[in-house]
Chain A
Amino acid sequence: MKRSSAPIFWSMFGAGGLLSALVGPALVYLTGIAAPLSWGVPLDLMSYPRMLAFAQHWAGKAVVFLVVALFLWHAAHRIYHTLHDLGLHSKALGQWIVYGPSALLTAWLAWALLSIGF
Chain B
Amino acid sequence: MAEGDRSPGASIEVEVLRYRPEQDSEPFYQSFTVPYAEDLSVLQALQHIKDDLDSTLSFRWSCRMAICGSCGLMINGIPKLGCRTFLREYYPGRVRVGPLNHFPIERDLVVDIEDFVGKLEKIHPYIIPREPRTLDQGEYLQTPRQLQRYLQFSNCINCTLCYAACPQYGLDPAFLGPGITALLHRYNADSRDGGQAKRAAIMHAEDGVWGCTAVSYCSEVCPKAVDPANAINQNKMASAMDYFLRFVKPGGARK
Q: Is the CB of A11 within 8 A of B201?
A: no
**A81-B213, A85-B213, A89-B171 in contact; A4/B206 too (CB < 8 A)?**
yes
| Stretch from B22-30, B133-141, B238-246 at the A interface | B238-246
Determine if B112 is an interface residue (Cβ-Cβ < 8 Å).
no
Q: Is the CB of B240 within 8 A of A1?
A: no
Determine if B72 is an interface residue (Cβ-Cβ < 8 Å).
no
Q: Label chain A's interface by main secondary structure.
A: helix
Which 5 A-B residue pairs are closest in the complex by CB-CB distance? A7-B243, A7-B240, A6-B210, A4-B206, A1-B201
Q: Which residues of B are found within 8 Å of A91, using beta-carbon distances?
A: 206
CA distance A3 to B167 in the complex (A): 23
List chain B positions with a Cβ less than 8 A from chain A.
167, 171-172, 201-202, 204-206, 208, 210, 213, 236, 239-240, 243-244, 255
Determine if A10 is an interface residue (Cβ-Cβ < 8 Å).
yes
Contact residues on A (Cβ < 8 Å of other chain), bracket? 10 to 19
Taking the nearest CB of chain A, how far is it from the CB of B124, in angstroms? 14
Taking the nearest CB of chain A, how far is it from the CB of B239, in angstroms? 6
Q: Which residues of B are found within 8 Å of A10, using beta-carbon distances?
A: 210, 236, 240
Q: Mark A34-74, 1 if CB is under 8 A from B, else 0.
A: 00000000000000000000000000000000000000000
Q: Is the CB of A6 within 8 A of B206?
A: yes
Taking the nearest CB of chain A, how far is it from the CB of B214, in angstroms? 9
CA distance A10 to B206 in the complex (A): 12
Q: Mark A79-115, 1 if CB is under 8 A from B, else 0.
A: 0010011000101000000000000000000000000
